[in-house]
Every structure is written in C-alpha cells, then in structure tokens.
Chain A
Amino acid sequence: STELTQPPSVSVSPGQTARIICSGEALSKQYTYWYQQKAGQAPVLVIYKDTERPSGIPDRFSGSSSGTTVTLLITGVQAEDEADYYCQSADSRGTYRGVFGGGTRLTV
C-alpha cells in the first residue's frame, strides 16, 4: 500500500539511535501502531497509539507523532533489534480498514 510510506532500510551501529519514519495522510487523524518482525517469526506489537509501549517491550523503544508523520525511535540499539519494522494505521478513506506501511529493514 502507498498510503503509509516508510524508508526501505535503516542501518545503525550497536548503541546508536535508530529513527524509523512513517508518513501518511491518515496519521494526523488516526493512531499509529508499530510492529517488529524478526526473520521467520510473527510480528510483535512494540508501540501502540503513537507513543505507548506494551508491557514487556524494552524502554529503549519509543514513539512520537507530528502531523502526518510518526517516528519509531530505538535508543541504544542492540543486535537483537535487527528486524523489519512496520507501521500500521487506519485507511485514510474512513472505511474502518487497516493499512500497513511497506516496512523498514533495520540493520545493526
């Protein structure tokens, strides 16, 4: 889907900060959710409602929102954070359907 746009890849060294941006018209009106997917595994929710972190998710994961852009921030990146990250929100046409961004491969 082209409704939510993410960079295909981000690369950081261990200990650095990774910023993964997601942009889309719907994001100014709807919450965004972020998922981490490691190779061969199901996605895992890491941020919900733009900025909230589920229990069990390390506090190095955080989210922010500004207008039509949301950002997943991973501070002090660890090797285990290497994964694909997807943003997700609602269809901008108000159809009550979901939509995912294209995904960002984080390389550590």
Chain B
Amino acid sequence: EVQLLESGGGVVQPGGSLRLSCAASGFTFRNYALTWVRQAPGKGLEWVSAISDTGVNTYYADSVKGRFTISRDNSKNTLYLLIDSLTAEDSAVFYCAKDMTPYTNYGYGGYDVWGRGTRVTVSS
C-alpha cells in the first residue's frame, strides 16, 4: 500500500524551530517529486514547498521562503521540512503529498497520495 506518514509536529514557542518528517512506503520514493501543503485551522489548503525527485530542485511559497527548508533522503525514503522563525501564522496541519507523475522536476504536478498530516501549533 502506498503511504505517507508525517511526524515531528507539536507545540513550539514563537521564534522557535521544528523539523517535520514524512516517511514513505509502497512506491519507488526516489522517482517522485514531493510537496508540503499546510492548512491553518478553519482555513484552506496552502501550497508550501516542493522538491524534485533527485532533490536538486526546490521551490518555496513566498510566505515561507528564507524560513523553511525542504530536503529529502532517498536512501531513507524520507522527506523533511525544517521550519524556522515560527510565528502564530504558521500554526497549521502540515501534509506531505506525492506527485502523481514520476521523474518530474517541478512542484505543481497534482498529488495522488497524501499523508494524514502533522499539527504545528505556535504559542507562548
């Protein structure tokens, strides 16, 4: 079964940092671009960041550029998102999602598998 499982969320103080992880199984991880999408409480989906299949190319939303860093370890079938300088506006459920098309170099291709999400709460 194709699965994505996020972890690493929690409660963090403003200005703090977290590293989110997304463990993949059931597909050839190294062949697919991956994306992080977040959803603030009661709000819609927001595209956050994506990484190409090889990890060479990364993309960020303007709202997170310079504070978030996406990476992947194809030997561990794991995607990461390092989030720094957190503010209350970053409180959200963070989902990782798999691109539906293999061997893509970009981050907008449509996502056919999603994890259940990990919640980040920024509060003092």
What is the CA–CA distance of A54 and B114 in the complex, to the nearest angstrom? 14
Give per-residue flags for A1-15: 1 if the beta carbon is below 8 A from chain B beta carbons, else 0. 100000000000000
Query: Which of B35, B100, B116 is in CB contact (< 8 Å) with A98?
Result: B35
Interface code B36-67, partner A: CB below 8 Å = 1, 0 otherwise?
01000000111100100000010111000000
A43, A44, A49, A89: residue with the most chain B Cβ atoms closer than 10 Å? A43
Inter-chain contact B59/A100, CB cutoff 8 Å: no
**Candidates A31, A37, A48, A100; contact of B46 at CB < 8 Å:** A100
- Check A97 against B61 for contact (C-beta < 8 Å): yes
Total A-B residue contacts, Cβ distance less than 8 Å: 74
Contacts A42-B115, A42-B116, A45-B100 given; indicate if A103 touches B110 (C-beta within 8 A): no
The 8 Å CB contact of A103, one of B45, B105, B108, B115, is: B45
Q: What size tier do the contact residues of chain B reach?
A: 20 to 34
Partner of B95, one of A43, A97, A98: A43
Q: Interface of B with A (CB < 8 Å)?
A: 35, 37, 44-47, 50, 57, 59-61, 95, 97, 100, 105-112, 114-117
Extra 17 A-B pairs, beta carbons < 8 Å, given A89-B108, A90-B108: A31-B110, A33-B110, A35-B45, A35-B111, A42-B115, A43-B45, A43-B95, A45-B100, A45-B111, A86-B45, A96-B50, A97-B61, A98-B35, A99-B108, A100-B37, A100-B46, A102-B44
- Which 10 A-B residue pairs are closest in the complex by CB-CB distance? A98-B108, A90-B108, A33-B110, A103-B44, A96-B106, A98-B47, A42-B114, A100-B45, A48-B110, A97-B59
